[in-house]
Structure 1
């Protein structure tokens, strides 16, 4: 639980109607986080804290999906993506504070922390995912929170935010970043996993994703750098099924459907756009 107690100063109480931001701090017993108004949140024995004000919805990844993600990523299949994320964040201070929204198991967040004193928060709506994220690295604090809702994070305290195949919340991202902070977004290109999609009934990739992303971020961010990670994967049957199960398709495919896919394994192309955006300074009103 050391990471969360060390990083508690980055968190704010999720209970609404405080006068200003109510910072969270560890209680003397080290088992809870509390705000000055008396709201208390238990630290789970797995090392995370749940700051969601309601039960997780149907969009939360299941334990089976999270286990598949951990197995697949541990195989190094997305290592080029993690390296690309690290490259676009290489110029951050060595003691930078980062957050990954929709972090899952915090695999990519751990990768971009490097070997130095950087630290990070992993936010995800799935309790199963956050339990894994809490064990990913002693420098990561794991928090159950919904990326679509106001984040339980203090204003202007972070150097960077990551969103890897995850929802973006531009308003909250701009709020929590320090002046000059950056957002890094990884989104699938049209050809991403095309071979798997064409050989099954997997969800497609929406057209116009880049245009919508730029429209989302245009009011508050400037695009600085874009890279495309592109490489071929050769997967055995279990790896191919884990790759599908760990993403949105895991909510839609039954175990029977999944078990019947790619009995001989499959080859498929990874194609991911990695873009970096810098938060724009707020406009000063005249007068």
Structure 2
């Protein structure tokens, strides 16, 4: 845990200015994870009035962990790279487009929309949502602040180095978010853990929560041959139970399509997610080659896109749900 006069993360070099711009430009929205005090930029660090200090890494991100998340698994560099290849191939493009469109709808008319992606991964959804918001017919109408929080420093690096100036924060979505109250226009939770109580706290009165969760047949063709983890049949019920106390459902829309992919992307779909923690990379690639060979096979993408708004004066309890 950081303490007075100390830095939470060692810094090998001075942060690259353009990479840290997304972070320093929204510092007033962040808060100290130790004492919840306001943060300000102090040279190459963020510091609160109680002298808790958090170095900005040279890659442009900051770690705002409170020191109590050490046992949780974070995405590795290999997982982040696999996810980037899947997105570059356009496999999730319809899902990305749906999230961006919905975010833009909720951000319309907001002077400076703030988008928070909780469990942001490499920032693919956040980047598209930020690009789509605050614009009309390609003309920028208002600046957009995008904040990506993830437990993985490799995810934070990917967020910080993207073309859109995004704030990249290493943080634990399952604990209190290092974000001030009533500051966020849209919270995104895409294939990520959900902390409904914290989402309600940080959202503005007219803010929105956009959740993307896997359907029961998501990637169904790969489950057995690739030895992937199955989608829990009770996932939808848990989601609704967690949101019922403090959110009003706006819409819940299924999104389903198939894409023909080869062994490379099939392997990456496994290597990018939690199944990668249970298999060696060589085994994943071998199974993908055995399954697809030199050809391409259809794979189902099946998700549910849920949008809801916070109910003022009501906060969900501390129940949290997985991705």
Per the TM superposition, whether the score is higher than 0.5 is yes
Q: Give the structure 2 partner of residue 278 of structure 1.
A: 309
Q: 1:152-171: CA deviations, max 9, x gaps?
A: 11111111100000000011
Q: Is the 8 A contact 1:240 1:266 kept in 2?
A: no
- For the residues of structure 2 that align with 1:34 and 1:232, how far apart are their CA atoms? 48
Which of 76, 99, 114 is the aligned partner of 1:85?
99
Q: Give the structure 1 partner of residue 78 of structure 2.
A: 64
Which of 32, 43, 47 is the aligned partner of 2:45?
32
Q: 1:178-211: CA deviations, max 9, x gaps?
A: 1121111000001110001132321111012111
Q: Give the structure 2 partner of residue 211 of structure 1.
A: 237
Q: Give the structure 1 partner of residue 183 of structure 2.
A: 157
Q: 1:26-52: CA deviations, max 9, x gaps?
A: 11x3x1111111111110110000111
- For the residues of structure 2 that align with 1:82 and 1:246, how far apart are their CA atoms? 16
Q: 1:233-283: CA deviations, max 9, x gaps?
A: 111111110111101111111123212112125321101100101000105
Q: Give the structure 1 partner of residue 227 of structure 2.
A: 201
Q: 1:120-175: CA deviations, max 9, x gaps?
A: 11000011111111112443100000000111111111111000000000111000
Which SS does the other structure have where 1:262 is aligned?
A: helix
Which SS does the other structure have where 1:80 is aligned?
A: helix
Which of 8, 26, 33 is the aligned partner of 1:14?
33
Compare 56-65 and 209-218 and name the one that shifted more: 56-65
Q: CA RMSD in A?
A: 1.6
Q: Give the structure 2 partner of residue 123 of structure 1.
A: 149
Q: Is the 8 A contact 1:33 1:40 kept in 2?
A: yes
Q: Give the structure 1 partner of residue 12 of structure 2.
A: none
Q: Give the structure 2 partner of residue 253 of structure 1.
A: 279
- For the residues of structure 2 that align with 1:255 and 1:242, how far apart are their CA atoms? 10
Which SS does the other structure have where 1:198 is aligned?
A: coil
Q: Is the 8 A contact 1:180 1:281 kept in 2?
A: no
Counterpart mapping for 1:231-242 below 5 A = 231-242=257-268
Q: Give the structure 2 partner of residue 98 of structure 1.
A: 115
Q: Give the structure 2 partner of residue 5 of structure 1.
A: 24
What displacement does 1:58 show? 4.2
For structure 2, the residue ranges without an aligned partner over 5 or more in a row are: 1-19, 136-142, 316-323
Q: Is the 8 A contact 1:107 1:136 kept in 2?
A: no
Q: Is the 8 A contact 1:163 1:186 kept in 2?
A: yes
Structure 1 pair 262/138, CA: closer, same or farther in 2 (3 Å)?
A: closer
Q: Is the 8 A contact 2:226 2:284 kept in 1?
A: no
- For the residues of structure 2 that align with 1:245 and 1:133, how far apart are their CA atoms? 19
- TM-score, structure 1 normalization: 0.93
Q: Is the 8 A contact 1:2 1:138 kept in 2?
A: no
For structure 1, the residue ranges without an aligned partner over 5 or more in a row are: none
